[in-house]
Structure 1
Amino acid sequence: MIKTFLLLCLAAVSLCSWAQTGKPHFVAKPSDKSVLGSQKVVTHSLSIARAPDQVYHYKNAAGVVVFSDRPPETGHYQVRIYDCYACKPSSNINWQSIPLYTQQYKEEIQLAATTYSIEAALIRAVIHAESAFKPAALSRTGAQGLMQLMPVTAKELGVTDAFKPSQNIAAGSRYLAQLLQRFDGDITLACAAYNAGASRVDQYRGVPPFPETKAYVERVNILLQRYRKT
């Protein structure tokens, strides 16, 4: 009992320490509510101290939905992104040369760009940074789909299925357009707000000093410049 209590205390201290230095986009707990509804869910091998880069989502032999940091030995599974794709400061990806997604969701992106008067290249750059164009992407906080919409934001924007590309792109682009308007068209600040929250940008009067947000903003800008040339 004493050993268990000490371990729980250490986990709590670690989590509190993270909370003081991290940004709101990350919470050390996976969410499945908006995806699986009332289905029975099993999570295993996911510890507070070690958050995997990928989560494997599948049904086991008993028909139970499982989230794990390891793929099943047999059968079908889906990979869920656990963090936003471009947020990891230690990423060794070369963002200047990583292959671009120039053909995916062309109609949806162009429609959103026209509707909300923002660059199609910016929408594409944000999608790339958020989910690497994986429509089933799911973050630790429950952010969903291509543009990683939080459930509350998605609901406010009228989204009924955040994993449906057309709805996700339309809502994410609308939200991005609102942020651009709020920050007088400043793409860097709008992207920082998309990642860390508009109130944090206001609080710090610029890009918040979170390593994840700084990395995210830099990489979105790199991707934007590249997508503008395609």
Structure 2
Amino acid sequence: MPRKAPFLVLMALGAVLCCAVPGASGAGMYFFEDGSGKFHFTNRPTSTTYRVFAVFKNFPDARKSDIMRVVRTKADAYGLDHHLVQAVIQVESNFQPGAVSNKGAQGLMQIMPATGADLGLTDPHDVEGNIEAGVRYLRMQMDRFGSPTLALAAYNAGPGQVERYGGVPPFRETQDYVRKVLSLYKKLKGGS
């Protein structure tokens, strides 16, 4: 019974959150318990070990057209091509403001909590605040590394890793990320 008690508390919390979170559309929260008894939660499961924890009927959401208005404004303010920012958001969160990765990145541009704190982001699921922080961070990486490829690698793996390896780090996740964002960016730019 003691081992199941924390899980039951979490389930009760999930049930309360299902009814309490403001917003518009549905989304799910998933979990798995590792071998040491630690629970892991995400709204984007990466394997079949995750099980449904809760379904949020009122999870934060915004229309893509509203998000794109903010993207254009913030990209212009920081001198970035809005197509690049759009590609980052598409790959990072698929335009889901409430997205949380299994590593803890949050919101449309998947800002890590420590990075968000450094950037003054107080609500990672706020559309405008998250895009502001993400665009500012991407601009910082562009200024630091001078190319979209290296800026995206730094956005994904961290600037220290780009410096350490003198280019895109040899991490499959980062290499795939850079390739996906640049491919989508090229398509979006060609379609405008």
Normalised to the residue count of structure 1, the TM-score between the two structures is 0.59
Displacement after TM superposition at 1:69 (Å)? 2.1
Structure 2 CA distance for partners of 1:125 and 1:75, relative to 1, 3 Å: closer
The superposition leaves residues 86-132 of structure 1 with CA deviations (integer Å, 9 ceiling, x where unpaired) of: xxxxxxxxxxxxxxx97351221111111100000010000011011
Aligned length: 154
The superposition leaves residues 148-189 of structure 1 with CA deviations (integer Å, 9 ceiling, x where unpaired) of: 0111111111111110000000110000000000002x1011
Please, what is the CA RMSD of the aligned residues? 2.9
Which residue of structure 2 lines up, in the alignment, with residue 197 of structure 1?
158
Which residue of structure 2 lines up, in the alignment, with residue 76 of structure 1?
57
Note if 1:129 corresponds to 2:119.
no
Displacement after TM superposition at 1:45 (Å)? 5.3
Alignment of 1:124-203 (within 5 A): 124-184=86-146, 186-203=147-164
Structure 1 consecutive aligned stretches of length 4 or more whose deviation exceeds 6 Å? 49-53
Q: Are the aligned partners of 1:71 and 1:77 in contact in 2 as well (CA < 8 Å)? A: no
Note if 1:208 corresponds to 2:172.
no
What SS does the aligned partner of 1:105 have? Answer: helix
Displacement after TM superposition at 1:48 (Å)? 3.7
Q: Are the aligned partners of 2:44 and 2:100 in contact in 1 as well (CA < 8 Å)? A: no
| Structure 1 residues not aligned, in runs of 5+ | 1-35, 37-42, 56-67, 80-100
Which residue of structure 2 lines up, in the alignment, with residue 54 of structure 1?
44
- Structure number with the bigger relative contact order (C-alpha 8 A, sep ≥ 6) is 1
Which residue of structure 2 lines up, in the alignment, with residue 224 of structure 1?
185
What SS does the aligned partner of 1:54 have? Answer: coil
Identity across matched positions, percent: 38
Normalised to the residue count of structure 2, the TM-score between the two structures is 0.70
Displacement after TM superposition at 1:70 (Å)? 2.0
Displacement after TM superposition at 1:140 (Å)? 1.9
